[in-house]
Structure 1
């Protein structure tokens, strides 16, 4: 969550005084792995411990950040810092509903495409895009489509309603068939540690599986799907059939 990054300096100041207790809590609540815990525990400078802990939590995505902030709301966790206790009570960690007006504006902007004609500079076309069989239209990224008076109709499978569900439903195919993994990683805004973990795998299949394991929120899933459409277009068309 952005709030974790925006308040990082204050959190470092509040948490470093009792960093050992914080480590115990995040380990018990499984917000960090045993390896991550051991690495943090081996550090001798409290400030370094807290900085690295916050970086790890932030790199794990929206859900882990939210769970960490909820953990800080517990009185037995924040009792050592009155400032932390006062601040954390003001933090909204509820799951925010999508801004429908924003979605509509973004959809309207995305579907305005310029269709080039021979010898002409092109025309502006605004089309309505719909999905059949209860499906959902991604982003959208349109390739090889035709225009008609009825607009553009894109058939999407029912399991594509959400980005994460789509990736999970097609994990086997993606692991076996995705080839351009390194360029895909470059297109994603992942934490440097996550990127290093993916690239460390010896085969592209293992890299892809590790990359899918990093998808722990809908925004990352959306970015990955868009990158797949961009770099693995034929495979994505195959998965849509």
Structure 2
């Protein structure tokens, strides 16, 4: 969906600027943007505002882009533009839309095995991806060819997965521990470096004068479960002691 948004950007700018303020209200109502982003967009001219809004939506990932396009399908949202209403009906926003119509997809797995393990990496071809079998032989006596740093990275990832395994709702976890996170997270710059956030969101966080304000702004940017999960994983990486304390 992010590709659909990008390829249709000029058309959307032309349509959405016609009723910019109402569009902005719908976007805020569905929590696609933060309170600060809403305030910044409210004082922006229609054309520039739509451009910035689309950039923000695009930067928040596939799910937010899909939800935004679904919002545009509502009659009370697109009623001001017959062209928009006609176009949005042709957009497939289902979760399988990205693979529809594709053929000859090739996925090659790149797998390393430690302790002398041998993995036969499968190649999957076809328009749909179903189940596949992977045969593996294991030679305990063989010397491992896996680089030490790769094994260490793998162990670190498993440790982080074990640490946050009990968290079922990442957004709920962050909301419940907002006060503790704001007061105690110190490695905010390192956390920002590891997160895939929109450049404008990162700039807004870094612009704050104290680490507490930075952390609060960062939490405001988390508006979907996938981004919340990424933030929690990154917090376990850089603030392990604090996160263990909050989890138990």
> How far did residue 157 of structure 1 move?
8.3
SS at match of 2:179: helix
| Preserved CA contact (<8 Å) 1:61 1:217 | no
Paired position in structure 1 for 2:173: 166
Paired position in structure 1 for 2:42: 37
Taking a change above 3 Å as real, the CA distance of residues 141 and 86 of structure 1, as seen in their structure-2 partners, is same
Paired position in structure 1 for 2:191: 184
Taking a change above 3 Å as real, the CA distance of residues 218 and 28 of structure 1, as seen in their structure-2 partners, is closer
Taking a change above 3 Å as real, the CA distance of residues 64 and 22 of structure 1, as seen in their structure-2 partners, is farther
Taking a change above 3 Å as real, the CA distance of residues 222 and 156 of structure 1, as seen in their structure-2 partners, is closer
Q: Write the distance in 1 (CA, Å) between the matches of 2:163 and 2:211.
A: 30
Aligned equivalent of 1:238, options 223, 227, 245: 245
Paired position in structure 1 for 2:11: 13
Taking a change above 3 Å as real, the CA distance of residues 156 and 59 of structure 1, as seen in their structure-2 partners, is closer
Equivalent pairs counted in the alignment come to 195
Residue 142 (structure 1) aligned with residue 158 (structure 2): yes
Q: Write the distance in 2 (CA, Å) between the matches of 1:216 and 1:224.
A: 11
| Preserved CA contact (<8 Å) 1:71 1:77 | yes
Taking a change above 3 Å as real, the CA distance of residues 50 and 214 of structure 1, as seen in their structure-2 partners, is closer
Taking a change above 3 Å as real, the CA distance of residues 113 and 240 of structure 1, as seen in their structure-2 partners, is farther
Q: Which runs of 5+ in 2 are unaligned?
A: 97-109, 116-141, 147-155
Taking a change above 3 Å as real, the CA distance of residues 123 and 9 of structure 1, as seen in their structure-2 partners, is closer
Q: Write the distance in 2 (CA, Å) between the matches of 1:66 and 1:83.
A: 19
Structural mapping, 1:43-122, within 5 Å: 46=47, 48-59=48-59, 65-75=65-75, 77-78=77-78, 83-93=83-93, 114=114
Residue 221 (structure 1) aligned with residue 228 (structure 2): yes
Q: Write the distance in 2 (CA, Å) between the matches of 1:85 and 1:183.
A: 43
Q: Which runs of 5+ in 1 are unaligned?
A: 97-108, 125-139, 145-152
> What TM-score results when the alignment is normalised by the length of structure 2?
0.61
Q: Write the distance in 1 (CA, Å) between the matches of 2:41 and 2:82.
A: 28
